[in-house]
Structure formats: structure tokens, C-alpha cells
Amino acid sequence: MRTTWKVIFVSVLCFAAVSIVTTQAGKDTSVTAAQVNGTWQSKYGEFKIWALGHQRLQVEFSGVYEYKTAQGPTANTGEGSGIATIEGDTAIFKPEGAKRECQITLKFTGGKLVVTQTSICGFGHNVSAAGTYKKVSAKKPKFGSD
């Protein structure tokens, strides 16, 4: 009889653990337009983002890579724009005209924008979109196409 209760107790514990994992895995991570809209900046770049509806974002990136030369400080700059698709709290962005391998992932989390970049996106030597950005304005940004 003891063995039967042990099996039932272990089975109940396993079911409870699976339920907790399932509930957390199904947690909604969607972000609102108000959470993504605006201008986001880091030391080396800026993203302008505006929700268009239907899981699409208008995105514009400008970045800089600063370095020193014998003649003094200088910098490489780059930019890209286009439409990103967003699902939950993560958007995928490939700038217009970028190589096929280029992919920029924008993750909106904890009031920050965490960006990763796959491959070279043609922004300029050593210019990268990767980094952590903070929102500096919630107003609708002025885009180059405006």
C-alpha cells in the first residue's frame, strides 16, 4: 500500500511541475505599439521605430564606429531602413538592399531594446546595430522617407 501512495505522490508532483512549465511557456510576451514606438539610442547608434499594424514596424537605423588615427579621431557611419515583422516581443528586420544573410533581431524587454545582428549588413566598416538601446522619445520619429 505504501508503494502505491508513493507512486501517486510522485505522479502528482510531476504533473504539478509540468503544469507550471507549460503555464510559463505559454505566457504572452506581446508588446504594445506604445512600448515599441519612438526613438531608441545607445552610445553607437539609434533606432527609429513606428508600429504600422498587422505585426509590421517601420524601422530606421543609423550607427557609428569611432576610432583614433594619427590625424585624430574619426568615424565610420552607416544606416538602414525598412519594414520589420514582429511576433510577441521580438521583431526581425532586414534593411532594404542588405545582403540576404543580414538579419537584425530587435527584442523589446524590460523597457529596453536588445539588438543582435547576424552577418554583415553593409552599414560601413565595423558599424553594427548590435547592442542595448534605451528609449529617449515616445513621439513619432521623423523618418528619412517623410
pLDDT digits (tens, 9 = 90+) for 110-122: 999 999 999 999 9
Burial label, 90 (beta-carbon count in 10 A; 0-12, 13-18, 19+): middle
Please give the grid coordinates belonging to residue 8. 501517486
Q: What is the pLDDT of residue 23?
A: 37
Under the banding of pLDDT at 50, 70 and 90, the label for residue 19 is: very low
Cβ contact 141:117 at 8 Å = no
Instruction: Give dist(CA 146, CA 144) in Å, integer.
Output: 6
